[in-house]
Chain A
């Protein structure tokens, strides 16, 4: 058996899916993985990560967002203005970056305020510190506690209990364990899965209820364990940088003579490395917040570049990486500057590295492919 045309992976190709269409739960849309998903789950909500997969236009969003903004966020707004995200029953934004943060206002004024749209959609905002300190943790803990109260109030939930939270933590920890196991099969000498398939799994995983996802991941894991693996002499690449929510890009890389055996992406390893460690039955919410806050960071955490670099160095060894592909969506300052530092640091370690910019949707394909092929050829 292979994963080609697998029904679970196919979920990643579209925004909607059968689970979303038939669920009785309220759907909570979010952009960034710094939000407490376990809390939504405990509140019997269905967390759904907003994507722009498959979309190629930003016309409607371009009215409200200048051209210096991120094409991924613009693309999601375009879809939302078309009504594609009308299934949302809740919307949460945190200040992960300047682009996605402003969706709080735009969804309020332009998406949920459309004449044809009558549903009342509660909106929530979480302010996340930009550095990792004890004080910052204290701040975020309070934010999440207040957020829990807001959720209870907005959805008439009597109480999200500690038991609910612990049960949800267990479901999510299991989910992350399964993703890590799949990842371990990806970094083998003969990887059992391509980078594009891994990305599809990750995207599908954020688009269905976690209980379903866990069953599907178990099934996929079994398929992968039984498979022979990919025998290839293609260059083993570590993909780093801005959000990738479209396999067009990973397919372009992999059709250029590479196999993406690991990544450092938010639809990837960054999201499943760390588990929630339950320290006490009395305060699981604090444990959830601890994982969120102290987890492997993205460049929006201003003082954590060393730890991110350390991860890259370890992963390069662990996954036997031939070269590192740094990429950013145009106008993404955070990944752009982090990539700039990596480029110099990795070059100093004699690790082949290549830094590119791109749009969220597949554009400029030939130029990109030529550059990537040239990079791969340079790797000895």
Chain B
């Protein structure tokens, strides 16, 4: 039998055995030690997987006034997923161990001189420079991004919710697609979902377009030849973008306060209104106010981008156009506008996705209020993301919140993926 195959089989049976067979003892011992560690901890893997599959079997009981702690389903689930991730890493190491044995075996087949362990580590460093540099970031992403997302995904298929399935007192169980069915089956959920989704889409479209065209208008005004002190105007208009958004929003929440706010007070003083205008507490008016405030917050971003695009347009372009007989309005419609739109259009889609999940504007202005009695856990101005937030933190409806997150992901994910697949960096990437 060829040496490479023998070494591979040996390593597949006992980690590092192939390396011993190849007389690379130090490396062999290292793999062997890893295997020992894994096998010594078999209990950990067993418990982890058991927890993930069953989500615990003994609920907390109260005997004689003393609580006897049972299984905490959610901790079991988190630990189970961690265990699964560790298992994947172990599997990768196992495959590496076999591959290494085969590769060295092949060298021996050809009768070439074998690198010592030290040498092979140096080779490894050069060859796997990319992997080694990525390890820290990969660990971060694995445990703080991927793990929570897998968990969130799993929760959508459980009954983890108040009041009957809330650990540590009660157990949580897998329920399959029950939650997804409920959204479409139970009228209360159904109605809330459709209502909130409709407003979310309207909000995302209107807020993005108002800011985009508001920004465009101001940029065009500033850029006009008639305007002097361009930098001065720009600096003023950029202020809302430079201010911390949360603070601006809290300021507006007070400005528009129906009872004590200065806007109503001024209007009353001048006799323009007799009664307070419910800026943020009337369902329709609140939506209008939110969009106007968002315009204040959002137009500077586009204005800033567009003016910087406009100033970077080659002056010769205009010269050439003028020679060909273009007048000022031609210059604007046929040169400036297309170039500005071309370089800001991708941001339009990103901005749409951002507004779709714009938690801050809604939460800090109205907290989703006024309350809508026909909705489950949501108010009139709640968008999907604030509804999810409330369901999670206030109402502990974790399962339904996860279902909504998945639906949002499918929606926003497909839009951004479509947007992204058209971008330069994806097309030009010569991926292996």
Partners in one complex: no
Q: Show the binding face of B for A, using Cβ within 8 Å.
A: none
Residues on A close to B: CB < 8 A? none
